[in-house]
């Protein structure tokens, strides 16, 4: 009986070949793969990939080269006099493995085999040994996501671009749930509290919930880590006012759930669910690479479905935790096609295959990085004095605004925390004065101040001024 080849072995070879658009020869392939595979075994693997139409061979004898098979398709166009109309689905670029998953999940529901939660899917993953994202891909993502705040305390870069991140991530993540708010509507809601006309109140609530959850992750980086408590807190923020039973907000589910449009049935036993949730979080916390950690959470939190609803939203924000902590460009999900994301999740649910979700993840991250390139270039190099006293700065600004006091040297000295070293106090006063020069309702959120709070302080001081 022929030996069954693990899909990962074929994927490794296919991913290596994908790095050489003009093709790669047998010798070069063998060298790149190392001594762990014999030439004869490699030939068999290549033959299998050719049979699966994942790669093609060109040339003859020693000059033969292998490259990825082109993705082809057909399109029907309706031609009329002087006009041509064609419709095409908006999707992300997909790998051959991703195309296989897409083809399967696009079948009618009755043609797909019903499946339940498989412990083996989680058991097969060993942190820092198993890799859903190959090393070369992780290196590429690190290069893309590097920020000017690389050597600064955790969360610095996310705080620097917080206003932009609040709008982008709140809008894009909500849009994946079918929310009809436009990006401009979202910006008005987040910055000025203006709900869009004609929109369902639940859509407005969804956007505002995202805003609160993102602020929690960015502001409280010391406590918002890869822990069960953080994930439960995210659910509490994201599900606020959206759950039929308010008691299920911020709680692991106690009953069985179904997933619309899928033949996958998540685990039902509450005790087993809690146990698996803690195992998933424990494994995620062990992963060293932030991108692998991020993707693991995007795969296994929705697969487990620990909450009665809002699981995918929780996973998308949770995927940002390691990126925020390592000062990498965040993952905003801007422009991700809803159908591509749905297909990718169905591939995880029904096949336990991650390749299509990986395609979506990589494309989404590249897109996010493009969005933040201009922001990164405009950022001023971090002020080490400001970084050292960032907590004291927040405390002083917040105390003055909430106390309704004018922003002058006398009040700043009165509000100055005792932790400011004596020799640094004159410079600290100057720093607080600088902050008040540029403070407005839109950016006061950096200091934990709501727009209305700041507006009330502004009005009071204008009257006394």
- Considering the domain architecture, whether residues 161 and 287 belong to the same structural domain is answered as yes
Least confident residue range of 137-141, 150-154, 321-325, 450-454: 150-154
Under a CB-based contact definition with an 8 Å cutoff, are residues 164 and 389 in contact?
no
Tokens of 367: 């897109």
Instruction: Report the alpha-carbon distance of residue 141 to residue 403 in Å, rounded.
Output: 45
Q: Is the pLDDT of residue 72 over 80?
A: no
Tokens of 214: 């993102």
pLDDT at position 40, please? 83
Mean pLDDT to the nearest integer, 142-154: 82
pLDDT at position 417, please? 95
**115 within a domain of the structure (yes/no):** yes
- Considering the domain architecture, whether residues 357 and 396 belong to the same structural domain is answered as no
* Final residue in a domain of this structure, among 329, 357, 378: 378
Residue by residue, what is the 3-state secondary structure of 154-216? CCHHHHHCHHHHHHHHHHHHHHCCCCCCCHHHHHHHHHHCCCCCCCCHHHHHHHHHHHHHHHH
Tell me the residue range of the domain where 63 lies.
7-68
- Considering the domain architecture, whether residues 306 and 388 belong to the same structural domain is answered as no
Confidence bin at 202 (pLDDT 50/70/90): very high
- Considering the domain architecture, whether residues 312 and 374 belong to the same structural domain is answered as yes
Instruction: Report the alpha-carbon distance of residue 175 to residue 72 in Å, rounded.
Output: 30
What are residue 58's DSSP bridge partners? 65
Under a CB-based contact definition with an 8 Å cutoff, are residues 449 and 396 in contact?
no
Burial profile 419-449: b = 16 or more Cβ within 10 angstroms, e = fewer: ebeeeeeeebbebbeebeeebebebbbbbeb
- Considering the domain architecture, whether residues 122 and 251 belong to the same structural domain is answered as yes
- Considering the domain architecture, whether residues 358 and 405 belong to the same structural domain is answered as no
Confidence bin at 10 (pLDDT 50/70/90): confident
Percent with pLDDT over 70 in the chain = 91
- Considering the domain architecture, whether residues 371 and 388 belong to the same structural domain is answered as no
* pLDDT tens by residue, 266-323: 999 999 999 999 999 999 999 999 999 999 999 999 999 999 999 999 999 999 999 9
**88 within a domain of the structure (yes/no):** no
CATH of the domain at 11: 1.10.10.10
- Considering the domain architecture, whether residues 219 and 351 belong to the same structural domain is answered as yes
**What 3-state DSSP class applies to 264?**
strand
Closest to 208 in 3D by CA, of 195, 198, 218: 195
**439 within a domain of the structure (yes/no):** yes
**1 within a domain of the structure (yes/no):** no
Sheet strand arrangement including 24-25: 24-25, 65-68, 55-58
* Final residue in a domain of this structure, among 328, 350, 378: 378
Under a CB-based contact definition with an 8 Å cutoff, are residues 156 and 218 in contact?
no
Tokens of 137: 């891909």
pLDDT at position 68, please? 83
Least confident residue range of 78-92, 97-111, 209-223, 420-434: 78-92
Closest to 145 in 3D by CA, of 291, 243, 41: 291
* Final residue in a domain of this structure, among 68, 85, 114: 68
Tokens of 327: 């000062």
pLDDT at position 82, please? 44
Global pTM value: 0.65
- Considering the domain architecture, whether residues 39 and 171 belong to the same structural domain is answered as no
**444 within a domain of the structure (yes/no):** yes
Please give the tally of structural domains in the chain: 3
**2 within a domain of the structure (yes/no):** no
Q: Is the pLDDT of residue 217 over 60?
A: yes
CATH of the domain at 109: 1.10.3290.10
- Considering the domain architecture, whether residues 50 and 173 belong to the same structural domain is answered as no
- Considering the domain architecture, whether residues 365 and 392 belong to the same structural domain is answered as no
In the numeric block, the tokens 């955790």 are attached to 154
Instruction: Report the alpha-carbon distance of residue 277 to residue 284 in Å, rounded.
Output: 11
**91 within a domain of the structure (yes/no):** no
**What 3-state DSSP class applies to 244?**
coil
- Considering the domain architecture, whether residues 374 and 446 belong to the same structural domain is answered as no
Please tell me what DSSP assigns to residue 21: T
**157 within a domain of the structure (yes/no):** yes
């Amino acid at each position: 009986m022929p030996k069954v080849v693990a899909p990962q072995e074929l994927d490794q070879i296919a991913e290596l070949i994908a790095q050489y658009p003009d093709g790669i020869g047998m010798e070069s392939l063998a060298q790149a793969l190392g001594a762990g595979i014999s030439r004869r075994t490699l030939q068999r693997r290549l033959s299998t990939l050719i049979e699966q139409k994942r790669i093609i061979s060109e040339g003859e004898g020693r000059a033969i080269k292998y490259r990825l098979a082109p993705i082809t398709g057909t399109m029907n166009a309706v031609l009329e006099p002087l006009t041509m109309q064609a419709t095409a689905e908006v999707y992300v670029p997909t790998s051959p493995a991703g195309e296989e998953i897409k083809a399967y999940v696009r079948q009618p529901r009755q043609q797909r085999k019903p499946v339940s939660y498989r412990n083996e899917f989680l058991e097969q993953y060993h942190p820092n040994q198993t890799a859903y994202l190959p090393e070369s891909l992780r290196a590429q993502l690190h290069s893309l996501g590097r920020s000017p705040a690389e050597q600064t305390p955790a969360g610095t870069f996310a705080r620097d671009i917080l206003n932009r991140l609040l709008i982008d991530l709140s809008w894009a993540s909500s849009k994946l749930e079918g929310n009809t708010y436009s990006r401009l509507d979202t910006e008005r809601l987040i910055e000025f509290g203006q709900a869009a006309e004609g929109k369902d109140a639940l859509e407005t609530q969804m956007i505002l919930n995202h805003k609160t959850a993102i602020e929690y992750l960015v502001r409280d980086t010391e406590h918002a880590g890869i822990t069960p408590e953080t994930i439960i807190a995210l659910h509490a923020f994201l599900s606020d006012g959206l759950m039929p039973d308010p008691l299920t907000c911020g709680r692991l589910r106690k009953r069985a759930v179904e997933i619309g449009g899928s033949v996958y049935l998540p685990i039902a036993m509450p005790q087993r669910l809690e146990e698996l949730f803690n195992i998933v979080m424990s494994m995620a916390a062990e992963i060293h690479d932030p991108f692998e950690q991020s993707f693991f959470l995007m795969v296994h939190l929705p697969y487990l479905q620990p909450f009665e609803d809002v699981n995918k939203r929780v996973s998308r924000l949770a995927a940002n935790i390691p990126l925020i902590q390592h000062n990498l460009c965040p993952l905003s999900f801007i422009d991700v096609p809803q159908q591509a994301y749905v297909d990718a999740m169905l591939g995880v649910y029904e096949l336990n295959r991650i390749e299509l979700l990986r395609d979506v993840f990589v494309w989404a991250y590249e897109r996010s990085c493009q969005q933040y390139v201009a922001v990164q270039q405009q950022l001023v190099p971090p002020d080490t004095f400001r970084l050292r006293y960032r907590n004291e700065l927040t405390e002083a600004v917040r105390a003055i605004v909430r106390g309704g006091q004018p922003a002058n040297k006398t009040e700043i000295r009165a509000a100055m925390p005792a932790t400011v070293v004596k020799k640094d106090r004159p410079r600290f006063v100057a720093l607080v004065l600088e902050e008040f020069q540029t403070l407005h309702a839109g950016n006061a959120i950096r200091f934990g101040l709501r727009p209305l709070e700041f507006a009330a302080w502004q009005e009071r001081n204008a009257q006394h001024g």
